[in-house]
Amino acid sequence: MARRLPPKKKDGPFARVWAIVKRIPRGRVATYGQISEMIDRRLTPVGVGWAVRAASDEIPWHRVINSRGTVSTDKANPGLQRAMLEAEGVLFGRDGAIDLARYGWKPRS
């Protein structure tokens, strides 16, 4: 089980992750690994997943997916993330994966 991960530090690596996640445009998605790179690996992909999971409602956490283009939250919220993404126009392939080349967020410097 997930022990606990109540975000305390509002200025630590977590905040860094949230700031980036907030910038993901509607209808676009980013991967954990991608975000990890964006923060200069202050957090590994695992840490990013941890931060995203602990994110509040203001953060569009549903726009964060794994490198395969599938959602990693089905265990916790079956179908939720997919539904939220489809609601903003993100289409899933037959294998349940998103086409990252098409929906992947390409942040500019």
Partner DNA sequence: GGTCTGACTAGGT
Partner DNA sequence: AACCTAGCCAGAC
By CB under 7 A, tell whether 75 contacts DNA: yes
What is the per-residue binding string for DNA in 2-41, x denoting contact by CB under 7 A? xxxxxxxx--xxx----------------xxx-------x
Which two tokens mark 17?
A: 């992750």
Q: Rounded distance, CA 95 to CA 46, Å?
A: 24
Is 94 an interacting residue with respect to DNA (CB under 7 A)?
no
Nearer to DNA, 45 or 88 (CB): 45
Helix (H) or strand (E) holding 53: helix 45-53
CB 49 within 8 A of CB 71: no
Nearer Cβ to DNA (1/101):
1
